[in-house]
Amino acid sequence: MIDVNGTLYGTTEGGGVYGGGYGDGTAFSMTTGGSLTTLHSFGSGLDGSDSWAPLLNVRGTLYGTTAYGGAYGKGTVFSMSLTGADEKVLHSFGHGSDGSTPLAGLIDVNGTLYGTTSAGGKYGDGTVFALTL
């Protein structure tokens, strides 16, 4: 989880309202007093599923990855506000040599997000990618 102004934010690999009982994962916030809010349930379309990595806060916007789902079924990079109301996919993996199945978190370097995928790419062993905000 990450701390943003005293509120904790994180993701789950399973659970949520989609995915046939098991769920495709969620993004959530939690106060330090233990009050939990589900911000987004993944799997409601092409928004991704199975988020294993921590979120990243960049100037009040949360960024993260999902290992599966998206337009090609190979994972996504997504963003959402701190309320989760406007979750959107910034990139769907698995089209061409961009890689697939991102499992690790993102970092921000001067407005560019960097991350890795665990599979796909030119040799099938993953990629390092950059996504300009």
Say if residue 18's pLDDT is above 80: no
**What does DSSP assign to residue 82?**
T
pLDDT tens track for 70-108: 999 999 999 999 999 899 999 999 988 999 999 999 999
Q: Compute the distance between CA of residue 69 and CA of residue 6 in angstroms, rounded to an integer.
A: 31
- For 78, 81, 83, the CA distances from 56, given in Å and listed in that order, are 11, 11, 14
Contact 118, 77 (CB under 8 A): no
Q: Are 119 and 126 in contact (CB under 8 A)?
A: yes
pLDDT of residue 126: 96
Percent of the chain clearing pLDDT 70 (strictly above): 96
What is the residue-averaged pLDDT of the chain?
Answer: 93
- Domain spans of the chain? 2-95
